[in-house]
Amino acid sequence: MKHPGEIVIRHLQSTFTPTEYLSLIQQPQYQRAGQFTPHTTGKEYWARLPLYLVARCPLCNAAYVERLDTHSLLGWHPHPDRWDFIYTSKRRKSDDAEKQKRLNQVVEMSPPDKSSILENISQRIDCPHFVAVQHFINLHGILPKEMRYFSNQSEVPFVMPVFLPDDVESYAVMHSLPICRIEKKRFKPCYSLYLITYYSSAPHAMWERRRSEFTGEDALHFPKLYTWRTVELNKISEAWDLSLWTKKGKLLWLDLGQDDLPLKGKPPEEFPYANIEGIQKSYTFRQGKLKIDPY
Ligand SMILES: [Zn+2]
């Protein structure tokens, strides 16, 4: 799969005009990439973002919806729980004292509880089976020259097998959306966002398992990085093999061919994300150059 195709683009929503959006992002508080949090931009901007269906729960069919800025990479906020890369139950304050206190604490990991969901204006899960969601951005080889700085994890999506065990009913649901950039005063879809959402009949047990494998150096240096880093990931090559998980019945997807995006898991040959190409490491784009991290 290369650039976002027509089948994906039909689900794209624009809730700003390009002129409005450009004048918004020229304001100082929007100039630092990755700072488009509700905290820095205020509720008004978030309330205006399009609401997207991200997944449907395979256990109870609840819709998981999220406000996402697909108008640009600048607005796209890839770390919804600040820098955690994956949702957790704790909606944290940003002051330094609080930050330091957190760093000194034993990391607590668990799926989101009801109160955290209510506090989060950008996310609605409506289901007790939700475990976590991962985001992947794929630039399809295009340099994001509209950005002064951009950092990214793997462009190629992978699953976290720890969340998909055989002994507990558990699933992942995959979906994708295009992300635009503004060219000639138009939103042009050119990047892809891939989302993998995990569900389980025992979400707390899933997090307990993740916590028990998250030890050693990683836990020390990346106390909040609950999702896998590629160095950890490469030990289990089947994590990259999305088709394998589809054949096992563990990885489902939303049917892009239908307006209401129903859940689909069969036949596995119709899985639309089997051959995603891209960089399988984290990298940064700075001063016009892409630098791939050694890990
Ligand atoms: Zn559910």
pTM score:
0.83
- Number of residues in the chain: 295
Higher pLDDT, 291 or 77: 291
Using the mean position of ligand 1's atoms as its centre, give its distance from the Cα of residue 262 in Å.
15
Using the mean position of ligand 1's atoms as its centre, give its distance from the Cα of residue 131 in Å.
10
Higher pLDDT, 214 or 19: 19
Using the mean position of ligand 1's atoms as its centre, give its distance from the Cα of residue 63 in Å.
8
Using the mean position of ligand 1's atoms as its centre, give its distance from the Cα of residue 15 in Å.
29
Higher pLDDT, 24 or 51: 51
Higher pLDDT, 64 or 85: 64
Stretch among 122-136, 144-158, 174-188 having the lowest mean pLDDT: 122-136
pLDDT confidence of residue 129: 92
- Beta strand 263-264 with 251-254: parallel, antiparallel or unpaired? antiparallel
pLDDT confidence of residue 86: 44
Using the mean position of ligand 1's atoms as its centre, give its distance from the Cα of residue 200 in Å.
8
Instruction: Give yes or no for a contact between 254 and 264, defined as CB atoms under 8 angstroms apart.
Output: yes
d(CA 35, CA 19) in angstroms, rounded, equals 21
Mean pLDDT taken over the chain? 78
Residue 216 in this model has a pLDDT that exceeds 70: no
Could you please report the per-residue DSSP string of 178-226? EEEEEETTEEEEEEEEEEEEEEES-HHHHHHHHHHH--HHHHHH-TT--
DSSP 131: E
Nearest to 199 by CA among 123, 283, 111, 79: 111
Using the mean position of ligand 1's atoms as its centre, give its distance from the Cα of residue 30 in Å.
35
Using the mean position of ligand 1's atoms as its centre, give its distance from the Cα of residue 57 in Å.
5
Using the mean position of ligand 1's atoms as its centre, give its distance from the Cα of residue 59 in Å.
5
12-21, 68-77, 227-236, 250-259 — most confident range:
250-259
Using the mean position of ligand 1's atoms as its centre, give its distance from the Cα of residue 188 in Å.
35
Instruction: Give yes or no for a contact between 78 and 284, defined as CB atoms under 8 angstroms apart.
Output: no
Read off the pLDDT of residues 235-264 as tens digits, 9 standing for 90 and up. Answer: 778 999 999 999 999 999 999 999 999 999
Residue 182 in this model has a pLDDT that exceeds 60: yes
Which residue is it, tokens 């976290």?
A: 160
Using the mean position of ligand 1's atoms as its centre, give its distance from the Cα of residue 58 in Å.
7
Buried b (16+ CB within 10 A) or exposed e, 139-164: beeeebeebeebbbbbbbbbbbbbbb
Nearest to 123 by CA among 71, 74, 64: 64
Using the mean position of ligand 1's atoms as its centre, give its distance from the Cα of residue 56 in Å.
8
